[in-house]
Amino acid sequence: MAGPDRNPWRRFLALPNESRTKTLIVAFLVSAICAALVSGATVILRPIQAANRAAEQQARIESLVRGIPGMSALLEQSGGTLSTVVVNLETGRAARDVTPESLAAALDDPGNWSALDSGGDIAGLGHRPDFAQVFLLREGDQVSLVLLPIAGQGYNGRIEAILALRGDMNTVAGIAVTRHSETPGLGGRIDEASWQSSWPGTEVRDSEGTIRFSVARGPASTSYEVDGITGATRTSNAVTRMVRFWLGPEGYGPLIEAIRRGEF
């Protein structure tokens, strides 16, 4: 007479299918195997997924920036890899808790805006956001171009633009006016390519670090000036103040210094 089978696996398989013990053990084993397969697939696919997300983000960034009038040709001339970062304007560092995706929601919170005193508010903004999304073009480890959103009060309303600076953080690479309501044929000429073409190569600061940029009253006569617009003195002055504000300590000044120190 054969003795009892001492192999636990065979004894388990010999249990009737209606056995509660067998059902629970099979369910547990199936769950464990599925969990292991899912975990393994996640580990294997994580680098691929990260690369795909990075590629998608890069494509969105390039599409956004190339949609800005005049920026596509500038990027093609500069070369390099384009990236974006949300900057804390007070510190000049990358924001810890605000991303490009969450920036709009963050700026809906009045607590993320700073009131400007009348003496320092040369751009006529009243309030300045605490965070701003900027775009960086890199060649290797070096920043070769920075695209900075700027805004200010013009003669008839708000002016918004993208200012591009070369890697030395002192030479203008170009400008694109993205919104304005200035008088057509006068101040409205700020969105004309013929006027914007006088910007590249203009220096922002002198050797002592003082911001000297200005829109001239006529043709530019120094390396710190761009051509003025005939009959649009108020608009020209507004653009001068707007650029000086955003490149100063209340605007992107801390960021500019951080880039100069090689921290970006």
31 versus 87: the higher-pLDDT residue is: 87
Q: In this structure, is residue 63 part of a structural domain?
A: no
Task: In whole angstroms, give the CA distance from residue 76 to residue 62.
Answer: 11
- Shared-domain flag, residues 18 and 111: no
Whether pLDDT at 209 is above 70: yes
**Residue 208 half-sphere exposure, CB side, CA atoms within 13 Å?**
2
**Residue 61 half-sphere exposure, CB side, CA atoms within 13 Å?**
21
Whether pLDDT at 207 is above 70: yes
Q: How far is CA 25 from CA 9, 16, 30, 125, 154, in A?
A: 12, 13, 9, 69, 75
pLDDT category, 21, cuts 50, 70, 90?
Answer: confident
Q: In this structure, is residue 28 part of a structural domain?
A: yes
- Shared-domain flag, residues 174 and 197: yes
- Across the range 3-23, mean pLDDT stands at 71
23 versus 250: the higher-pLDDT residue is: 250
Residue where a domain stops, chosen among 26, 57, 88: 57
The label of the residue with tokens 């960034």 reads 61
Query: Based on C-alpha coordinates, what's the Rg of the chain?
Result: 29
Of residues 196, 189, 242, the one with CA closest to residue 220: 196
User: Which pLDDT score is estimated for 83?
Assistant: 83
Specify the DSSP element, H or E, that contains 78. helix 71-78
Q: Give bridge partners of residue 23 from the DSSP assignment.
A: none
The label of the residue with tokens 């697939």 reads 41
Residue 50 class from Cβ within 10 Å (0-12 exposed, 13-18 middle, 19+ buried)? exposed
- Shared-domain flag, residues 53 and 80: no
Percent of the chain with pLDDT over 90: 47
Q: In this structure, is residue 8 part of a structural domain?
A: no
Whether pLDDT at 33 is above 90: no
User: Which pLDDT score is estimated for 58?
Assistant: 53
Classified as helix, coil or strand, 161 is strand
Q: Which of 71-80, 175-184, 236-245 has the lowest mean pLDDT?
A: 71-80
pTM here?
0.74
Whether pLDDT at 156 is above 80: yes
- Shared-domain flag, residues 35 and 105: no
- Across the range 15-20, mean pLDDT stands at 77
Q: In this structure, is residue 5 part of a structural domain?
A: no
User: Which pLDDT score is estimated for 223?
Assistant: 96
User: Which pLDDT score is estimated for 43?
Assistant: 72
155 versus 75: the higher-pLDDT residue is: 155
- Across the range 33-58, mean pLDDT stands at 68
User: Which pLDDT score is estimated for 51?
Assistant: 57
- Shared-domain flag, residues 90 and 182: yes
Q: Give bridge partners of residue 146 from the DSSP assignment.
A: 136, 165
pLDDT category, 190, cuts 50, 70, 90?
Answer: very high
User: Which pLDDT score is estimated for 151?
Assistant: 95
Range of the domain at 25: 13-57
pLDDT category, 36, cuts 50, 70, 90?
Answer: confident
pLDDT tens-place string over residues 62-117: 654 665 556 677 667 666 677 889 999 999 999 999 998 899 899 999 999 999 99
Q: How far is CA 181 from CA 73, 93, 127, 146, 185, in A?
A: 26, 33, 20, 26, 12
User: Which pLDDT score is estimated for 170?
Assistant: 96
- Shared-domain flag, residues 123 and 158: yes
- Shared-domain flag, residues 76 and 177: yes
Torsion angle (degrees, nearest 10) of CA 264, 208, 190, 83: -10
Q: How many domains does the chain have?
A: 2
Whether pLDDT at 2 is above 60: no
pLDDT tens-place string over residues 215-235: 999 899 999 999 999 899 999
